[in-house]
Every structure is written in C-alpha cells, then in structure tokens.
Structure 1
Amino acid sequence: MNLNGLFSMLTKMFVRSAVDAGINYAASRGKPEAEMTPEEREQARKGRELAQRAKEISKATRRLWR
C-alpha cells in the first residue's frame, strides 16, 4: 500500500471514531449518569438507541458509495 492510501485510511478511521464519539456525547448531553434524573436517563437511553441506528445507517451509506 502506498503512503497516500495509508494516510487516507487512517484519516477516515479517525474521522469515523470522532463522529461516533460526538454522537454519543450529544446523546447523553455531556452529563454523567449519576447526575441525571430518571427522565433524563430515559431520554439519554433513547438518544443512544437513535445514535446506534444513525451509525448503522452511516455504515450502510458508506458501503453504497464505495
């Protein structure tokens, strides 16, 4: 593999993990579980489930555009 291909692959991996981390952070709104009320916990759980579906859709989209 040439150096450009390696750099491109590493960049894509980094961006993918950064996007996933950002989605998870946004789903929990940046609060630790211990500081959340029961309603916030439920909302965070639903947000994580939605984030998981978004990740699956993004994977499928990446596969389509190869």
Structure 2
Amino acid sequence: MNANQLINMIVRQVIRTFVNKGVNAGINTLSKNDGQAKQNRQTAKSVRQAAKISRRLSK
C-alpha cells in the first residue's frame, strides 16, 4: 500500500462517519419537531436500517 491509498482510506472513513452523523441528526430533528413523533421515530429507524444495509451491500 502506498501513502495515497492510506490517505484515501482514512479520508473515506472520516467522511462516512460525518455523513452518517449528519443524516442521523437530521432524522432525529425531524422526528422530534412533529406531533407524530412516534411514527417519525419508526420511520427514522427504518431509514437508518436501510442505510446500514445499503452500506453493507456497497462494500
């Protein structure tokens, strides 16, 4: 492995972490602000699961 590959690997991991945190924060914010919070939390959970599955499949 050369230095470029190592740097790219680390950058991808960091970006993936930030993107996931941002998506989760946005979903949580939407689920808290609405009167249908319980339904939104369930939807948020299913969206997180779908994102997790898609990340697994894309590897």
Do the structures match in fold with TM over 0.5? yes
Shift of 1:7: 0.4
Question: Which structure 1 residue ranges, 5 or more long, are not aligned?
Answer: none
Which shifted more, 5-14 or 20-29? 20-29
Question: Which structure 2 residue ranges, 5 or more long, are not aligned?
Answer: none
Task: Say whether the 8 Å CA contact 1:24–1:48 is kept in structure 2.
Answer: no
Q: What's the RMSD between the two structures over aligned residues?
A: 2.5
Q: Determine if the alignment matches structure 1 residue 29 to structure 2 residue 26.
A: no
- Aligned match of 1:9: 9
Amino acid corresponding to residue 46 of structure 1 in structure 2: T
TM-score (norm 1): 0.64
* 1:12-51 deviation per Cα after TM superposition (whole angstroms, max 9, x unaligned): 10111112112211211267xxx66772133123212212
Which is richer in helix? Answer: 2
TM-score (norm 2): 0.69
Q: Which of 33, 38, 42 is the aligned partner of 1:45? A: 42
